[in-house]
């Protein structure tokens, strides 16, 4: 397939020669063939000329959930990857929270085979323990050999400290990345929202900051003892940022992420008891959100994620206490981040994270495979259900004002627009 992108403004802060320049880009059989101020290409070529077309390197998301296998009513792999592509993401890391759970090499092979024809590339995580039960390690080495990019018992903290120690020591032998969800469940108890003034006023059981921070302290002490690589997904408190900053100063090989919704919403949004805002970790305070934004800007927090988690209506349209956690976020990620940060910062955040998962980093130059996101950063609009491409519609961003529209992607010798 031949593609010509006309008058595209390139947003690539790492490329001084092309950053913020308008160029035509000719892509032949998935490879960038030419970049120039004006190109006139002969032969069968698909010409793309959108209003105020901007392009960047393809976006990456480190925490995405679908439903297949087992929960196809929530989301299939095919539609999930199409949604990711239309939302600007050329690479996503898939969480291991299906049925059956991917805790063996054959499960990883299934996920990769089911996604290999898609424009957006799926990178699979395997579970850290068998069936995510926290009792025995899963087939870590075999899953890595099959293509797993890391290990994670999704949203389930590992209670057994010694098992985490053993996992880090074992995975260290083959450069495996261990995820540890930061939540001490004995401290959290039956809490469902942030513990504080709002939870007291609403009569909802709270999860104190301590539950997250105590878990992070434990994990970092174990990492310091064992060595190896750890990723702490979706932190939510100001003190968590400080703890990770101190660990990095010590030289520990630790990264962390934050979900978009924890940057832009606080526990004050819970006053309507809208189950779309029932999330894990919970929405925290304004001071926490400010600290998380600052942590992203100074690099303490390594990357931002949508933490996209489709959930069918039967699990969301119930009493707040009984509703399932989670929100979809792929479709709204760019528009919301572009409201919080300037465009260059937004693009930088959306393109970070690949190196941690050993995913090939794309480059914007002739001879490289085209891995590009197409967008217009200017339109402002209210996010509505018609903007949702996911099968499930459980978005906490419904009714929010967003800035910027995604046109699609060019990746894997395909264009989705």
Query: Which residues contact residue 346 at a Cβ distance below 8 angstroms, ignoring those fewer than 6 apart?
Result: 334, 337, 338, 340
Count CA within 13 A, CB hemisphere, residue 413: 8
Asked whether the bond before 100 is cis by omega within 30 degrees of 0, the reply is: yes
With a CB cutoff of 8 Å and minimum separation 6, the contacts of 17 are none
* CA atoms of 120 and 139, how far apart (whole Å): 26
CB within 8 A of 125, min separation 6: which ones?
Answer: 93, 94, 95, 96, 102, 148, 149, 150, 151, 152, 154, 179
Q: Which is the catalytic residue, given 153, 267, 307, 376?
A: 307
Is 307 annotated in the active site? Answer: yes
| Both structure tokens of 89 | 């993401």
Which residue numbers are catalytic? Answer: 307
């Amino acid at each position: 397939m031949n593609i010509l992108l006309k008058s595209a403004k390139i947003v690539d802060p790492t490329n001084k020669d092309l950053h913020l320049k308008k160029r035509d880009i000719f892509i032949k059989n998935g490879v960038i063939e030419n970049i120039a101020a004006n190109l006139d290409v002969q032969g069968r070529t698909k010409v793309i000329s959108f209003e105020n077309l901007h392009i960047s390197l393809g976006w990456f998301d480190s925490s995405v959930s679908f439903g297949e296998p087992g929960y196809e009513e929530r989301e299939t792999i095919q539609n999930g990857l199409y949604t990711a592509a239309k939302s600007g993401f050329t690479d996503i890391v898939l969480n291991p929270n299906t049925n059956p759970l991917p805790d063996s090499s054959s499960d990883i092979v299934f996920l990769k085979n089911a996604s290999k024809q898609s424009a957006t590339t799926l990178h699979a995580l395997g579970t850290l323990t068998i069936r995510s039960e926290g009792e025995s390690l899963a087939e870590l080495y075999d899953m890595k050999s099959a293509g797993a990019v890391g290990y994670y018992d999704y949203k389930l903290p590992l209670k057994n400290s010694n098992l985490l120690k053993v996992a880090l020591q074992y995975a260290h032998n083959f450069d495996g990345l261990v995820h540890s969800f930061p939540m001490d469940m004995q401290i959290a108890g039956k809490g469902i929202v942030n513990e504080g003034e709002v939870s007291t006023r609403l009569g909802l059981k709270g999860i104190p900051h301590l539950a997250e921070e105590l878990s992070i302290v434990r994990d970092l002490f174990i990492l310091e003892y064992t060595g190896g690589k750890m990723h702490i997904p979706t932190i939510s408190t100001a003190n968590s940022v400080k703890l990770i900053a101190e660990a990095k100063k010590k030289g520990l090989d630790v990264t962390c992420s934050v979900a978009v919704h924890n940057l832009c919403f606080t526990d004050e949004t819970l006053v309507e008891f809208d189950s779309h805002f029932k999330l894990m970790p919970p929405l925290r305070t304004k001071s926490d959100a400010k600290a998380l934004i600052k942590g992203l800007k100074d690099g303490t927090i390594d990357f931002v994620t949508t933490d996209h988690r489709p959930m069918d209506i039967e699990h969301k349209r119930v009493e707040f206490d009984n509703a399932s956690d989670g929100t979809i976020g792929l479709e709204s990620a760019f528009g919301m981040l572009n409201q919080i940060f300037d465009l260059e910062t937004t693009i930088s955040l959306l393109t970070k994270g690949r190196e941690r998962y050993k995913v090939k980093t794309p480059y914007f130059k002739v001879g490289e495979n085209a891995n590009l996101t197409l967008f217009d950063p200017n339109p402002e609009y209210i996010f509505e259900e018609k903007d949702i491409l996911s099968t499930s519609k459980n978005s906490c961003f419904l009714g929010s004002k967003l800035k910027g529209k995604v046109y699609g992607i060019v990746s894997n010798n395909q264009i989705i627009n």
